Amino acid sequence: MVITALAAQKGFASEAQFSRLFNYYKDHTISENIPLMMWKQHETSKGWISVDKNNATDGDLDIAYALILAQRLWPNSEYHYGKAAEAILNAIKKYNYNPETGLLTVGNWATSNEKQNKLLRPSDIIPTYFNTFSKFTNDIFWTQLEKRSAWAISELSDQHASGLIPDFAWVKGNQITPVKPREISGKYDGDYSYNAARIPLRLADSKDKKVEKALNKMLNFFQKQPIIRGGYTLTGKKLVDNQSASYSAPILYATNNQKNYTGLYASQRWVFEHPLNGKDYYGDSLKTMVLFKLY
């Protein structure tokens, strides 16, 4: 939905196209009273069916942001995108937030679990979203969340010379530690891997000094690498040999118009030299989003 809204800003998509995605979202909310989207669907003979009644916080953050963009684009729409965005944001506060940590949880299923509600997915930290939500709702909650989230990013950044931040981390009071391998979903849970790949994109454009420092530290690490690989340990060792648009596209965006990273920016433009092939939805999505944000 974010991509379609960004495309519409530039005249490459219509409200009719966006509204189809909006209706798909509405067809797959957890319930009438919980307007968070169930995280995964699969196709059956009866249509697309959700696998369970759990949401993923990052997805609903994107949906809410897309709806705010849509409200600005089509303020008189019959779909009342702004009202829908407010409903999602209120639900995120209720079902995807832990007041004990002061941070977002990874989903409603985690919030209700005494251990999992301490789990943080750092790529859910999107300062520009939080700032937008604060201005849109006049709710200080989002300003406070942005400040607390900047602390989390700074703490994780300071733990390693590389400045790399993991896919997942545990938060206990004012202590934050990367999770162990296979503790959540796979052997790279505590590494700069599939989820963390989005972090340079998520942190870009933030005006928070702690966030800027953490992002620059990460970019300094990448600038020293001959080739950006598809994942690293937090100490800076490559996890794989291949390049990946999922990792390079966010770095490309984060280095845009930054005079200290012109070489890194140029090296990551390779992502636009290859057409979308439909076989890598994650990488293709990030590449397309970056394209519309850059040009």
What DSSP string runs through 146-209? HHHHHHHHHHHHHTSTT----S-EEEETTEEEEPPTTSSSSTTTTSB-TTGGGHHHHHTT---H
Per-residue pLDDT band at 265 (split at 50, 70, 90): very high
> Do the beta carbons of residue 66 and residue 1 sit within 8 Å?
yes
CA distance 89 to 96: 10
- Residue 46, pLDDT score: 85
Angstrom distance (rounded) from CA 56 to CA 110 = 10
User: Is 208 a residue of the active site?
Assistant: no
Of 93, 97, 101, 107, nearest in space to 38 by CA: 107
- The token pair at 41 is 């669907």
Q: Residue 181's pLDDT is what?
A: 98
Query: Residue 87 in contact with residue 94, Cβ under 8 Å?
Result: no
pLDDT at 263: 98
Average pLDDT over residues 168-172: 98
Q: What pLDDT sits at residue 202?
A: 99
pLDDT over 90 (residue 128):
yes
CB of 95 closer than 8 Å to CB of 123: no
Mean pLDDT, rounded, for 145-172: 99
Average pLDDT, the chain: 98
Q: What is the mean pLDDT of residues 21-35?
A: 98
The whole-number average pLDDT for the span 11-39 is 98
* b/e code 67-106 from CB counts within 10 Å (16+ = b): bbbbbeebeeeebebbebbbbbbebbbebbbbeebbbbbb
Structure confidence at residue 184 (pLDDT): 96
Local confidence band at 27 (pLDDT 50, 70, 90 cut-offs): very high
pLDDT band at 56 (very low <50, low <70, confident <90, very high): very high
pLDDT of 271: 97
From the candidates 27, 52, 58, 60, which is the catalytic residue? 58
Residue 35 · residue 84 · CB < 8 Å? yes
Residue 125 pLDDT: 99
Query: Given this model, what pLDDT does residue 162 score?
Result: 99
32 has a pLDDT exceeding 90: yes
Contact 146, 99 (CB under 8 A): no
From the CB of residue 180, how many other CB atoms can be counted at a distance below 10 Å?
Answer: 12
pTM of the model: 0.97
22 vs 45 pLDDT, higher one: 22
Given this model, what pLDDT does residue 51 score?
87
Contact 256, 265 (CB under 8 A): yes
Q: Contact 6/12 with Cβ under 8 angstroms?
A: no
Neighbours of 155 (CB within 10 A): 18
The answer to whether 152 and 118 are in contact (CB under 8 A) is: no
Tell me the domain boundaries of the chain.
1-95
Q: Give the least confident one: 22-31, 137-146, 186-195, 274-283.
A: 274-283
pLDDT of 189 over the 90 cut: yes
How far apart CA 215 and CA 222 sit, in angstroms, is 11
Instruction: Give the pLDDT of residue 81.
Output: 99
The reported pLDDT for the residue numbered 277 is 85
Confidence of residue 190 (pLDDT cuts 50, 70, 90): very high
